[in-house]
Structure 1
Amino acid sequence: MRLFAVSAFALATLATPAFAQDSTSTFTGPRAEVVGGWDHVGSEGDGTSGFSYGGALGYDAQVGRAVIGAEAEITGATTEENGVGAGRDLYLGGRIGFVAMPNTLVYAKGGLTNARFDVAGLGSGTTDGYRFGGGVEHDFGRFYGKVEYRYSRYEEVNLNRDQVMAGLGIRF
Structure 2
Amino acid sequence: MKKSILALALTSVFIATPAFAQDATPFTGPYVGGVLGLDSVELETGGLEGDDKGTLYGGVIGYDMNLGGFIVGVEGEYTESAVSNTDRNLLIAGDEARLSAGRDLYAGARLGYQIDPNAMLYVKGGYTNAKVKLAYDDNVGNAFSLSDELDGYRVGGGLEVSADNKFVRLEYRYSDYGKYETSSLVPNIDTSRHQGVVMAGIRF
Using the size of structure 2 for normalisation, the TM-score is: 0.75
Q: How far 1:12 sits from its partner (Å)?
A: 1.9
Please, what is the CA RMSD of the aligned residues? 1.9
Q: For residues 12-32 of structure 1, what are the alpha-carbon distances to aligned partners after superposition, in whole Å with 9 as ceiling and x for unaligned? A: 2341489xxxxx861000000
What secondary structure is seen at the aligned counterpart in 2 of 1:122?
A: strand
Counterpart Cα distance in 1 of 2:124 and 2:173: 8
Rg (Cα) greater in structure: 2
Which structure 1 residue ranges, 5 or more long, are not aligned? 19-23
Distance 1:112 1:4 in 2: 26
The answer on whether the counterparts of 1:25 and 1:141 sit within 8 Å (CA) in structure 2 is no
Instruction: Name the residue aligned to 2:196.
Output: 164
Aligned counterpart, 1:29:
29
Residue identity (%): 39
Indicate the SS of the match to 2:27. Answer: coil
Tell me if structure 1 keeps the 8 A contact 2:41–2:85: no
Structure 2 unaligned blocks of 5 or more: 18-23, 87-97, 136-143, 181-189
The verdict on how the C-alpha distance between 1:15 and 1:89 changes in structure 2, with shifts beyond 3 A counting, is same
Q: Which string of whole-angstrom CA distances, capped at 9 and with x for unpartnered residues, describes residues 103-156 of structure 1? A: 001100000000111235724100100000000010011111111000000113
Separation of aligned partners in 1, 2:154 and 2:195: 11
Verify the 8 A CA contact 2:33 2:59 in the aligned structure 1.
yes
Report the secondary structure of 2:179's partner residue.
helix
Does residue 154 in structure 1 map to residue 169 in structure 2? no
Task: Give the structure-1-normalised TM-score.
Answer: 0.88
Letter in 2 for 1:169: G
Structure 2 CA distance for aligned equivalents of residues 11 and 116 of structure 1: 26
Aligned length in residues: 166
